[in-house]
A and B are shown apart, each in its own frame.
Chain A
Amino acid sequence: MSVYDPSDTTTPAAVEGGAETRRAGAFLRLLRKPMGLGSLLVLAVVVVLGLLEPVLRTHSPNFTSLDFINAPPGTPGWPLGADQYGRDIWARALSSINVSVISALIGASVAILIGTVFGLIAGYRGQRTDAATSWVFNLLMTFPALVLVIVLTPLTGGAYQITMAIFGFFLAPGIYRLVRNLVVGVRNELYVDAARVSGLSNRRIISRHVFYVVRGPIIISAAFMASAAISVQAGLAFLGLGSTQVPSFGVMTNDAFLNIYGQPVQLVWPSVFLALLNGALVLLGNAYRDVLAGPQAGRKRRRTRRLVGEAVPMAAPGAQSSAVSAATPDRGEGGLLTVRNLRVAYPSTDGSEREVVRGLDLEVNPGEIVGLVGESGSGKTQTAFSILGLLPKEARVSADELRVAGDSLLDGNGAAQRNLRGGVVSYVPQEPMSNLDPSYTIGSQLMEGLKRTMPRKEAKAAILALLERVGIPDPPRTFKAYPHQISGGMAQRVLIAGAVVSRPKLLIADEPTTALDVTVQAEILDLLRELQRELGMGVLLVTHNFGVVADLCDRVVVMRNGELVEEGAVRDIFHAPSQTYTKELIAAILDEETTRSDAPASPMGSGVS
């Protein structure tokens, strides 16, 4: 949230994270995670063991010695013992590590190479290219890869490298779909359009803007694909497919399996190594995903909770609410909404609290329309949401007094407050479309609140009458329509109908016309004015648009940085503002009398036609 900044051109605020590049940051953060560091270490140890095979082994993996058949672990020169053919299990395990690592590398790189290249092309080009490649990859996905690999064994001659290359080919659709979907998302970003207009070639745009986005997910899937390749290679070798001359964990498991009653311990060694490799790879992929998703995931969660959660305001410590209200009789005892010393704070990452509303006093009288104005970050929406009880859970709300129609919102449990708010206070949001559930008809959503208090038929008649009242041309048709079937202006009328159905005393509207076209805005403002007069409601209108304020409001409250700057009758604020900030705001309104009158700039070339 940006804060009002009078110069706008001053040095940008340094944000946590600084200027370190994200790539190095991601890897460092991976190392800082116990799971990431642990799995990387295990992988490194196993791989290094394989690389040092010529140094560490005491026999060739296929050397047999009849003297040492089924030698137990710990026999001098045979650290893990020997199998039923008298072969050194330690040497065979080391050799098998290399086979597994090579299988993983071949399988994963073939899958990633094919999947990424085609995914990038299909996603970026779209249209026919996308349709054709997606068709091919979907077809590929339906092939039973394992069966095919087995059937092709005579052709591959049992060489595990070729088998893994084929298997990687069948893993490619997974990567392809991942990359393609990510690219389709990025392609429509404005910064990609801007790069195109800047004259960058497609290849450059893909490598600069698109590849950055897909890099993380590709690394994550690479870990899972590598693990899959290792398991499949081991599985095929266990079944006896491929050369028995190449030692691998699959072959070792098979040998041990035949000997399971004699020497069950022989089964342990290949299983331990397989488990270590696969477990480390999968956990590494998970850790890396957490690292990449870390801060963003947290932020997203907070945003969704915003409308669901409910922060119950607490009486400010040391303030006796009854005493305060008694002490200020001059501020309209019969006020519809009374807010005294409202504070809203959020915990920030370093443990301190950041106050977004700092001691606000606010009053709305019955039948009065009060405009709450300010720029982004001024705390106007936070104020409205704390009255509505719509702030996220982590918000800390406190006030000396928070009273609607005589009832305090400070004490009482959540349910009592909900009842109070439901019957007395209503809300009209900014985005009409996102506040209607797309999977229910308009009628059923409007009936929701009424069904409990009156029979269905009556409720429906009431809703239809109300829809007619808010200016919807064909109420029965709209009643049966789904939200996507009506325009934004109509959706806002529907929401207004929903807000006034309970005949509220106070209507809180948060930028109710900001998302609408100017002609529709004028109609909605007319509707709000008419309904306010008919029902005698008090209205708290949160907006940044001074035209809307001038059109509708009786009184204006100007906010900045969470504090009240100025408050007064609408004419006083517009014609004789007393505070510098209010004057600045009013001066920033583009005035209507002067139009641009200077001649076009001196030509430095000709234009378009």
Chain B
Amino acid sequence: MPEVLKGISLNVAAGETVGLVGESGSGKTTIGRAVLGLAKPTGGSIKFEGEDITHLPSGERRRLAKDVQVVFQDPYTSLNPALQVADTLSEPLIAQGIRGADARKRVLELLDRVGLPTDSAQRYPREFSGGQRQRVAIARALALRPKLIVCDEPVSALDLTTQARVLDLFIELQRETGVAYLFITHDLSVVRHISHRVAVMFRGEIVESGPTGKVTTAPDHDYTRRLLLAAPTADPDRQAERRAERRKLLATTGASGAAVNLD
């Protein structure tokens, strides 16, 4: 198995959002899956509240479910099309032994919290729009009042207006519950909006990390600079300036990363 990640170090403090930015193949999703226990790192360690969770046996890993949760990118495949929303939401509750009336009450509470009407409980995923499905996925992640949610591109499949609303929901929930987010995305504007700190990944390594304001306005690393200048801004005149600036940067540093991928 080829090594995808090379000696990554990353900290998420309670109640904060750490944005993990990078392009496809940079290894950012693998980090998220390693934290979730869905991928096994070949070396190094992942600690949660001081406890090493890198190689937990599956029974103990399940215990961790109430602390570490996930919201995936694709709201279409992350919900089982055959299960009603109530069944999907009660899944984590069942795993923790919460059943019957308690579980039903919690499901309605969760739906209310993510801004879905209570009659959504008896509906199937296909009856919801992408944004609404993502709200269901967020409700599932919140069900056990976790301390950390790994968010893997949770808004990149959504329309622009929906995206802004779902991001606001994320922030609001964080303020209410004190949950921490490891927010994986390729979109710098999303990262700016939601992260307290940012880590930039390039080819399996973190090339730069720091407070969001610092990294996105005065980056130290060339790759971060290239990434920032490559993202088009929604203003024709400013975009023309940015384009010129990017050309200048590429002329001085050379456009690495554009090589063909034969073999």
Point out residues on A near B: beta carbons under 8 Å. 2-6, 8-15, 19, 22, 189-191, 193-202, 204, 208-209, 212, 375-376, 471-474, 477-478, 481, 485-490, 517-523, 525-526, 544-551, 570-571, 574, 584-586, 588-592, 594-609
What CA separation (Å) do A550 and B83 show in the bound complex? 42
Question: A35 to nearest B CB, angstroms?
Answer: 25
Contact A586/B234 with A196-B38, A596-B212, A604-B14 known, Cβ cut-off 8 Å? yes
Question: A522 to nearest B CB, angstroms?
Answer: 4
Q: Can you list 26 pairs linking A and B with CB atoms under 8 Å apart?
A: A2-B130, A8-B165, A12-B117, A193-B72, A194-B140, A197-B36, A199-B62, A199-B96, A200-B94, A201-B95, A209-B80, A212-B80, A489-B258, A519-B227, A519-B257, A549-B234, A551-B236, A592-B189, A595-B217, A596-B193, A603-B13, A603-B178, A605-B14, A607-B11, A607-B147, A609-B47
What CA separation (Å) do A488 and B230 show in the bound complex? 17
Contact A487/B92 with A201-B62, A519-B230 known, Cβ cut-off 8 Å? no
- Interface size for B (C-beta < 8 A) is 118
| A12 in contact with B82 (CB, 8 Å) | no
| A198 in contact with B91 (CB, 8 Å) | yes
| A601 in contact with B69 (CB, 8 Å) | no
- Within 8 Å CB of B238, what residues of A? 550
| B234 in contact with A574 (CB, 8 Å) | yes
| A485 in contact with B35 (CB, 8 Å) | no
| A590 in contact with B177 (CB, 8 Å) | no
**Number of cross-chain contacts by CB at 8 Å:** 297
Across the A-B interface, give the 4 residue pairs with the lowest CB-CB distance, nearest first: A199-B65, A547-B232, A600-B16, A601-B15
Cross-chain contact of B15 among A594, A596, A602 (Cβ < 8 A): A602
Question: A234 to nearest B CB, angstroms?
Answer: 39
Chain B minimum-CB-distance residue to A584? B161
What CA separation (Å) do A209 and B78 show in the bound complex? 12
Question: A509 to nearest B CB, angstroms?
Answer: 15
- Within 8 Å CB of B260, what residues of A? 472-474, 477-478, 486-487, 490
Question: B157 to nearest A CB, angstroms?
Answer: 10
Cross-chain contact of B127 among A14, A521, A608 (Cβ < 8 A): A14
One digit per residue, 1 when the CB lies within 8 angstroms of any chain A CB and 0 when it does not, for chain B 72-87 equals 1010011110111000
| B15 in contact with A608 (CB, 8 Å) | no
One digit per residue, 1 when the CB lies within 8 angstroms of any chain A CB and 0 when it does not, for chain B 1-41 equals 00000000001111111000001100000000001111000
| B262 in contact with A481 (CB, 8 Å) | yes
What CA separation (Å) do A602 and B13 show in the bound complex? 11
Contact A490/B261 with A14-B127, A595-B213, A603-B178 known, Cβ cut-off 8 Å? yes
| B65 in contact with A605 (CB, 8 Å) | no
Interface centre among A201, A488, A606 (most CB of B within 10 A): A606
| A607 in contact with B212 (CB, 8 Å) | no
Cross-chain contact of B78 among A191, A200, A472 (Cβ < 8 A): A191
What CA separation (Å) do A302 and B122 show in the bound complex? 29
What CA separation (Å) do A201 and B24 show in the bound complex? 31
Question: B262 to nearest A CB, angstroms?
Answer: 5
Chain B minimum-CB-distance residue to A553? B236
- Within 8 Å CB of B11, what residues of A? 607-609
| A604 in contact with B15 (CB, 8 Å) | yes
Contact A193/B70 with A546-B234, A586-B234 known, Cβ cut-off 8 Å? yes
- Within 8 Å CB of A478, what residues of B? 260, 262
Question: B166 to nearest A CB, angstroms?
Answer: 8
| B236 in contact with A5 (CB, 8 Å) | no
Q: Taking the complex as formed, is B259 at the interface, i.e. its CB lies under 8 A from any CB of chain A?
A: yes
What CA separation (Å) do A519 and B11 show in the bound complex? 27
What CA separation (Å) do A471 and B250 show in the bound complex? 15
- Within 8 Å CB of A550, what residues of B? 232-236, 238-239
| A547 in contact with B72 (CB, 8 Å) | no
- Within 8 Å CB of A595, what residues of B? 192-193, 195, 212-213, 216-217
Chain A minimum-CB-distance residue to B196? A600
| A590 in contact with B193 (CB, 8 Å) | yes
What CA separation (Å) do A12 and B133 show in the bound complex? 10
- Within 8 Å CB of A604, what residues of B? 14-15, 147, 177-179
| A547 in contact with B233 (CB, 8 Å) | yes
Chain A minimum-CB-distance residue to B33? A193
Question: B130 to nearest A CB, angstroms?
Answer: 6
Cross-chain contact of A519 among B48, B69, B226 (Cβ < 8 A): B226
| A4 in contact with B159 (CB, 8 Å) | yes
Question: A213 to nearest B CB, angstroms?
Answer: 8
Chain B minimum-CB-distance residue to A575? B235
Contact A521/B82 with A197-B70, A571-B237 known, Cβ cut-off 8 Å? no
| A570 in contact with B72 (CB, 8 Å) | no
Chain A minimum-CB-distance residue to B198? A595
Contact A485/B261 with A201-B62, A547-B239 known, Cβ cut-off 8 Å? yes
Cross-chain contact of A518 among B63, B148, B182, B230 (Cβ < 8 A): B230
| A588 in contact with B164 (CB, 8 Å) | yes
- Within 8 Å CB of A199, what residues of B? 62-66, 92, 95-96, 144
Chain B minimum-CB-distance residue to A601? B15
What CA separation (Å) do A598 and B195 show in the bound complex? 10
- Within 8 Å CB of B259, what residues of A? 473
| A486 in contact with B262 (CB, 8 Å) | yes
- Within 8 Å CB of A574, what residues of B? 234-236
Which residues of chain B in 234-263 are interfacial with respect to chain A, using CB atoms and an 8 Å cutoff? Answer: 234-239, 243, 246, 255, 257-263
Question: B246 to nearest A CB, angstroms?
Answer: 7
- Within 8 Å CB of B130, what residues of A? 2, 376
What CA separation (Å) do A146 and B46 show in the bound complex? 56
| B123 in contact with A596 (CB, 8 Å) | no
- Within 8 Å CB of A551, what residues of B? 232, 236, 239, 243
| B193 in contact with A8 (CB, 8 Å) | no
What CA separation (Å) do A590 and B233 show in the bound complex? 10
What CA separation (Å) do A522 and B226 show in the bound complex? 10
Cross-chain contact of A13 among B127, B131, B231 (Cβ < 8 A): B127
| A597 in contact with B80 (CB, 8 Å) | no
Q: Taking the complex as formed, is B188 at the interface, i.e. its CB lies under 8 A from any CB of chain A?
A: yes
One digit per residue, 1 when the CB lies within 8 angstroms of any chain A CB and 0 when it does not, for chain B 115-130 equals 1110110111011111
